């Protein structure tokens, strides 16, 4: 992955690319993500968003009374969370080694995160570790051959892409990643309402078999 502070710096930038991404997210995309999460939540569920960034979507759940934990390695990102919601439970930590006991959260999720890691499988396994048995793992990742993918390729060719290099996932690649992580009930979609920009994945952590 790129330098640890790179995404923190992203939130302070005022360049066209960063402003466009934030604007698109706030006015449209975050609503699609929230609706997807609602389908996978039960009343009283505890939620973890590792790599939370500004935490815009999870803050809405926290305000609705859910027990939400925000984790990021960027002081800037966590400061933005607190500015939006002072009561937020924020933790600064590495997503690859989170300071939680195994099987802590009912739902662990993020979007725009795992594609920035050289080894996304490691990140996913750590997210699964802190999720309860029969709990949900939700990932939203950029889709292969999408408008954003084409923009990325063009800007990157001219060294104009100001964010990390990243993976654009095919459905088969994301499904394979989740299968390797030994998850159950894997569902992956590319909603038209998300403008086809992303893949939305949900999966369930398997229940451990009781020793005979």
What are the pLDDT tens digits along the chain (212 aa)?
333 445 555 555 555 555 566 666 776 788 899 999 999 999 999 999 999 998 999 999 999 999 999 999 999 999 999 999 999 999 999 999 999 999 999 999 999 999 999 999 999 999 999 999 999 999 999 999 998 899 899 988 988 776 778 999 999 999 999 999 989 999 999 998 888 899 999 999 998 766 55
DSSP secondary structure, 146-166, as one string: SHHHHHHHHHHHTT---S---
Contact between residue 113 and residue 123 where contact means Cβ atoms under 8 Å apart: yes
Does a structural domain hold residue 116?
yes
Residue given tokens 């990390």 in the structure block: 164
Domain that holds residue 134: 6-205
Give CA–CA dist 81/146, Å, rounded: 29
Give CA–CA dist 121/143, Å, rounded: 17
Does a structural domain hold residue 210?
no
Residue 115, SS3 per DSSP? helix
Does a structural domain hold residue 49?
yes
Does a structural domain hold residue 149?
yes
Does a structural domain hold residue 148?
yes
Token readout for 13 is: 């930038």
Total number of domains constituting the chain: 1
CATH code for the domain of 16: 3.40.50.150
R_g of the chain, CA atoms, integer Å: 17
Does a structural domain hold residue 211?
no
């Amino acid at each position: 992955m790129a330098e640890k502070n790179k995404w923190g710096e992203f939130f302070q930038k005022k360049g066209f690319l960063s402003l466009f991404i934030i604007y698109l997210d706030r006015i449209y995309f975050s609503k699609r993500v929230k609706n997807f999460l609602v389908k996978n939540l039960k009343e009283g569920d505890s939620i973890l968003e590792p790599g939370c960034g500004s935490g815009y979507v999870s803050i809405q759940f926290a305000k609705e009374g859910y027990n939400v934990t925000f984790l990021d390695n960027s002081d800037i990102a966590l400061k933005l969370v607190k500015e939006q919601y002072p009561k937020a439970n924020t933790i600064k930590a590495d997503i690859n080694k989170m300071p939680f006991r195994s099987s802590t959260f009912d739902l662990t999720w993020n979007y725009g995160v795992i594609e920035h890691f050289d080894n996304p499988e490691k990140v996913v396994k750590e997210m699964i570790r802190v999720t309860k048995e029969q709990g949900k793992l939700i990932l939203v990742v950029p889709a292969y051959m999408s408008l954003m993918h084409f923009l990325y390729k063009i800007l990157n060719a001219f060294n104009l892409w100001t964010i990390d290099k990243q993976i654009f996932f095919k459905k088969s690649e994301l499904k394979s990643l989740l299968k390797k992580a030994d998850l159950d009930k894997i569902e992956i979609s590319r909603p038209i309402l998300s403008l086809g920009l992303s893949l939305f994945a949900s999966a369930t952590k398997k229940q451990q078999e009781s020793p005979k």
